[in-house]
Amino acid sequence: SNLGNTCFMASMLQSLAAVAPLREYFTSGAYERELNAENRDGTQGQLARSYAVRLCRRSRRAAGGPGGPHARPAVLTSAPAAR
């Protein structure tokens, strides 16, 4: 079932993954230094972590390695609008 904007969100995530510096930021783990896990109004870093996992799995699949289970459900459940 479509949660409203999932097609839009999927296209945006794919577009962001195509930006090499941003992709490297997440796949290298550099984003972890900037997470605000104490923000009670946010996702406590869960959305960023889910996106990083998705990018890493995507990179492994592109390199011919195992991709593991698809991370999309974790990303969707982390978004405030999906709650």
Helices (H), 1-83: 6-17, 20-27, 46-62, 72-78
- Ranges of beta strands (E only) in the chain are none
Q: Are 46 and 31 in contact (CB under 8 A)?
A: no
Instruction: Give the pLDDT mean for 63-78.
Output: 50
Q: What is the pLDDT of residues 45-61, one digit of tens each?
A: 998 999 999 898 887 77
Q: What is the pLDDT of residues 3-30, one digit of tens each?
A: 677 778 888 888 999 999 999 999 999 9
